[in-house]
Amino acid sequence: MRLRKSFRSRKNSLFVGNPRGGRTAAILASLTSTCRRHHVDPQLYLTQLLMNLPSWPVHDLDAWLPDQWKLRHSARLASLNQRNPTAPDNLSSLPAE
């Protein structure tokens, strides 16, 4: 299954339209596969990334790598659950950071 998915993606990547689109597709594919490897919901991660990146300091961009984001996000969830122990542990219901 993994080989087929990789092959299909590579074949579809031949038709991205232009070099800039190809680079963008490669970056997004890399980010989403890294999210899956670290058991992070790619949609939640990318939503928070795109909402917060414009105001984030350039020197601290490493905090938005999926593995680092997961650590911060898990710590934030734990602190929210300590304040309100009856709240459901639902990642998608959190407001953006």
Condensed to tens digits (0 to 9), the pLDDT of residues 8-65 reads 565 665 667 788 888 888 888 899 999 999 999 999 999 999 999 999 999 999 999 9
Alpha-carbon separation of residue 42 from 13, 31, 45 (angstroms): 20, 8, 5
Euclidean distance between CA atoms 48 and 65, whole angstroms: 12
Is the same domain home to 33 and 2? Answer: yes
The count of domains in the chain is: 2
Is the same domain home to 25 and 61? Answer: no
Report if pTM > 0.85.
no
